[in-house]
Amino acid sequence: MKKFLSLLIVAVLAGTITLGAYKMFLEEETTTVATTSAARPSFIPASYTSTAGYTPANIDFTVAAQKTVNAVVHVKQYGTTRTPRNLMEFLRNGGGSSQERRIQGAGSGVIITEDGYIVTNNHVIAGASELEVTLNNNKSYKAEVIGTSPQSDIALLKIESNEKLTYIPFGDSNAAKIGEWVLAVGNPFNLTSTVTAGIISAKSRDLNEYDDNIQSFIQTDAAINPGNSGGALVNGKGELIGINTAITSQTGSYVGYAFAVPSNNAKKIIDDIIEFGEVQRGILGIRGGNITPKTMEEYDLTESQGVFVAYVDEDSGAKKAGLKEGDLIKEIDGLPIRKFADLTGYVNSKRPDDIIQVKVLRKRRELTLPVTLTKYEIQAYHIKDVGVEVINPPKGYLEKFNLDHGVVINKALSPRMQRYDLKGIVITEVDNKKVNSVLEVKNIIDSKSENEDIIISLVDRNGTKREFIFN
């Protein structure tokens, strides 16, 4: 026992001596500083609650999809282009005989009545010599173009069917809210009956900031790709609140957001085409824009949102109602106006002679003025491919030629046309369509594809009818 204790003591002493020698001669000297803090640790809280099967606001997307998928159609367009058959024809700018090649484009459309009216984009059908519409049940029909509005990129088609067709009812696009869930229904990349979901990202979006044609699109992050153009943007109830029209992308495909013509604007255009044969565009009669810091300082404005009135047109509804330079438009018919696209988007859903209630801020005082909208008229239009400028006929001018329709050549623009005395000649038809105004001429020309022939029918000052083809 004594021997064991002696060995234990020797072992302990040996270990102690070894550790002390290591600490003294081998271990590098270090200094450790300990601090304490009363601050709470920084972290990102996480929720571990399962979201499986959760749908915001309890929206059932299947209901809206089932209501709409059978009312969205595939629109195919066929056209022809002339190509020279040999070098000689090429050098003659394609003159003489030439061969025709069928070309095809495709998009979507929305059935809006049970008897076959279909709304789509104008760019889907522009330049087509033949249109074919295929329903979700694979039945195909020839379609007729009833009317177009190139400025708004809306076109109205009609098919004849012996059956009552499934259609999508119009919703109120003004009532649609940012953050609201929507579905895009169409035929992207020729994949028929495709439904995608997203939210409304913004409203009254203008893509042409420096263009006189102020737009007012609904912006959505529902996936929209080539082929979706002319398709439906619907709310959770399955109501049509927009016509899918455009994407902004460097690749040409969906990158996160897309744009639709609001349904209120599309419906108004369609109603005008059916009732009048052309779009009846009402205007307020002001020139202005969004508020800038310079405007606020110059006119002592206290508001940073609204439409600033820089000029009021003579003989306009705005002038007659009492709007003045320096007024700040805040509301129209109770709808908040934060920027110019809000104003144009709402006014474009109205017709000439409609009365709207315009709330303005004038020298820090609110006024509500009833304004009667006046009809938008294009005073002159350049038919560039023909080389002439046309104007609406002066009062009583057409009667001299026993005509009840037509526009008048005001002057020649191109050197080729300036060789002739064209002033006063009446153009009665463009592409075999009667024209009653400069706006109708513009719409026909805008709907044509590049390098497509233009057929002009006219009556000269001797009353002789002539027809010319320009390329």
Q: Which residues are catalytic?
A: 123, 153, 229
Phi-psi category of residue 138: left, alpha or beta, with phi > 0 → left and psi -120 to 50 → alpha? left
**Cα separation, 231 vs 244, whole angstroms:** 5
Q: 300 vs 40, 173, 213, 297, 360, CA distance in Å? A: 49, 34, 29, 5, 15
Nearest residue to 280 via CA among 348, 206, 230:
348
Q: What does the DSSP 8-state code read for residue 279?
A: -
Question: What are the respective helix, strand and coil percentages of the chain, to the nearest 5?
Answer: 20, 35, 45
Q: How far is CA 468 from the centre of its chain?
A: 35
**Cα separation, 155 vs 147, whole angstroms:** 6
**Cβ-count burial 328-340 (b if 16+ within 10 Å, e if not):** bbbbbeeeebbbb
Question: Would you call 128 exposed, middle or buried from its count of C-beta atoms within 10 A (0-12, 13-18, 19+)?
Answer: buried
3-class secondary-structure state, position 229: coil
**Cα separation, 1 vs 429, whole angstroms:** 130
Nearest residue to 441 via CA among 452, 421, 427, 460:
427
65 in Cβ contact with 195 (< 8 Å): yes
- Name the CA dihedral angle for 190, 196, 200, 205, rounded to a multiple of 10 degrees: -10
Nearest residue to 236 via CA among 72, 74, 55, 52:
55
DSSP assignment string, 293-342: HHHHHHTT---SSSEEEEEE-TTSHHHHHT--TT-EEEEETTEE--SHHH
- Rg of the chain over CA atoms, in angstroms? 34
Alpha helices in 178-292, H assignment, sequence order: 263-276
| Residues linked to residue 184 through DSSP beta bridges, in sequence order | 196, 233
Phi then psi dihedrals of residue 101, to 5 deg: -125, 125
